[in-house]
Amino acid sequence: MALGVLSLLASACGSEPGKSGTANSEPIVKTDPAKPPSDKGDSVVTGGDLAFMNDAAPGGMAEVELGRLASKQAASRDVKAFAERMMADHSKAGEELKALAQRKKVVLPPDVLPKHKEAMAKLSKLSGAEFDKEYVKAMVEDHEKDVTAFEAEAKGAIDSDVKAFAEKTLPTLKMHLQIIHDIAAKMGVNAKP
């Protein structure tokens, strides 16, 4: 009778006599620990990386256009030299970003944003020292935002190519920010809003 009870218990638990295991046991499947998302070499850019590209493209175009305007309307040699640097450096970065976008099949905004058009319209009505002062203020503000955005992307980008673009461009933006801060100090321009 004892043997019958053991046999009954064993079959109720789902195991056969002589085999170890628990009820309904399945082989344990080992899985890899969770990993953060990463770029697997595909061409899809999403989320924050896509937003970054879509902000950086028109921002760079605006720097070039404002540089053109400054090269014509500024009085200060320092401001004109800075404007020339803006046109050269931001044109180069813009071309690199366009090439990256093509590889990643991202369609970048074709033009500057409305906020950039407003700034251009405002500055286009000024000339000489008045232009210099407002242009310097705008460049300090723009480059402080740019450095912050590029630092964040260089640290937190998912797509390795977008991250590399941000890392490569960041030192140039930091240099621009330092130069424009120096120009603002030399001119006595309070660049804080």
74 φ, ψ (degrees, to nearest 5): -80, 155
- Whole-angstrom Cα distance, residue 16 to residue 32? 32
The mean pLDDT value for 108-118 works out to 94
Give the global pTM: 0.76
25 φ, ψ (degrees, to nearest 5): -80, 135
pLDDT in tens, 16-28: 444 554 555 555 5
pLDDT greater at residue 21 or residue 114? 114
Lowest mean pLDDT among 2-6, 49-53, 122-126, 137-141: 2-6
Domain ranges of the chain: 47-187
Q: In this model, does residue 92 exceed pLDDT 70?
A: yes
The pLDDT of residue 24: 54
Q: In this model, does residue 126 exceed pLDDT 70?
A: yes
Please report which residue ranges of 29-108 form alpha helices under DSSP H.
Answer: 47-73, 77-104
Lowest mean pLDDT among 38-47, 80-89, 114-123, 126-135: 38-47
Mean pLDDT of the chain: 84
Top-tier CATH class for 47-187: mainly alpha
Question: Is the separation of the CB atoms in 139 and 70 below 8 Å?
Answer: no
End-to-end CA gap in the chain: 92
The mean pLDDT value for 177-190 works out to 95
Q: In this model, does residue 145 exceed pLDDT 60?
A: yes
The pLDDT of residue 45: 86
Interacting residues of 56 by C-beta distance below 8 A, sequence separation 6+: 97, 149, 150
Q: Given pLDDT bands bounded at 50, 70 and 90, which one contains residue 190?
A: confident
